[in-house]
């Protein structure tokens, strides 16, 4: 038999070897990798939608230039506080792109910093509008904003007990504290997103942005709100089951 024939019969197929190496995963690795890709894709989508909604809201608030009036300042502070910083604080604990490589302790620090900054801006923006109006909470926008304010304050104070749950475990149940913190955060952020949707639904914004684009922004807000709150809902359910079993 010719030498080159022998060499050909024993030479490996590079493409076949590459395929086999790619398929040599540890048990469960394929599933975890697919789940990671799916979660990363959702987080990327959420960030794109957040950027779109926040950017358009800021353009609307700045449409008349500086200095900003009470309503424009209210929009800037609340949108940056709730839809940008608070959203990122929640995503930081669920493997967001910029926080995926951080240690757990650093993720919690980032969560706390973003949460405090976001809550502070949002509350400041809400109080500015309260002082500017004589009649309060007579619309769905204002009513859901009030719910967001109340639960944001509750979430901040309750977060202290969650942060030091291990140290204070002899005084109260740390698991209950974490559950209430997650619950308060879900309600606060969800109410803020609903309030923003009702803000978009106001006639002066629809006139500025057009009907179709306004409806798209409302849909964007609902989509990224759902994506962001999915992980807290799952975490809340898991911790609640653990507490009940104990």
Q: For residues 202 and 161, what is the distance between their CA atoms, to the nearest angstrom?
A: 39
What are the residue boundaries of the structural domains of the chain, listed by start? Answer: 48-245
Q: What sign does the CA torsion over 216, 220, 226, 229 have? A: negative
Q: What is the CA radius of gyration of the chain?
A: 24
> The domain at 48-245 falls in which architecture?
Up-down Bundle (1.20)
Q: Are residues 185 and 118 in contact, defined by beta-carbon separation less than 8 angstroms?
A: no
Q: What is the pTM of this model?
A: 0.83
d(CA 7, CA 12): 10
Give every CB contact of residue 74 below 8 A, 6+ residues apart in sequence: 125, 126, 128, 129, 132
Distance CA 165, CA 158 (A): 10
What is the chain's pLDDT, residue by residue, as a tens digit (246 residues)?
Answer: 444 444 444 445 544 444 444 444 444 444 477 877 888 889 999 999 999 999 999 999 999 998 999 999 999 999 999 999 999 999 988 766 777 778 888 888 889 999 999 999 999 999 999 999 888 899 999 999 999 999 999 998 887 766 665 555 566 566 777 888 899 999 999 999 999 999 999 999 999 999 999 999 999 999 999 999 999 999 899 888 887 876
């Amino acid at each position: 038999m010719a030498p080159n024939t022998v060499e050909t019969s024993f030479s490996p197929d590079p493409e076949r070897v590459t395929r086999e190496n790619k398929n040599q995963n540890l048990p469960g690795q394929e599933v975890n990798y697919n789940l990671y890709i799916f979660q990363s894709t959702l987080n990327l989508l959420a960030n794109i939608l957040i950027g779109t909604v926040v950017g358009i809201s800021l353009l609307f608030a700045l449409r008349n230039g500086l200095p900003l009036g009470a309503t424009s300042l209210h929009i800037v502070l609340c949108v940056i506080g709730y839809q940008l910083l608070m959203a990122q604080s929640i995503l930081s604990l669920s493997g967001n792109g910029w926080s995926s490589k951080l240690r757990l302790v650093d993720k919690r620090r980032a969560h706390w910093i973003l949460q405090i900054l976001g809550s502070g801006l949002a509350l400041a923006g809400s109080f500015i509008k309260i002082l500017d109006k004589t009649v309060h909470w007579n619309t769905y926008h204002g009513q859901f904003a009030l719910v967001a304010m109340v639960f944001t304050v509750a979430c901040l104070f309750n977060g202290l007990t969650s942060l030091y749950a291990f140290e204070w475990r002899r005084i109260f149940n740390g698991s209950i504290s974490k559950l209430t913190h997650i619950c308060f955060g879900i309600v606060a952020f969800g109410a803020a997103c609903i309030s923003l949707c009702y803000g978009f639904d106001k006639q002066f914004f629809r006139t500025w942005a057009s009907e179709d684009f306004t409806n798209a922004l409302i849909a964007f807000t609902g989509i990224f709100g759902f994506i962001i709150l999915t992980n807290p809902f799952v975490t809340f359910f898991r911790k609640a089951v653990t507490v009940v079993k104990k």
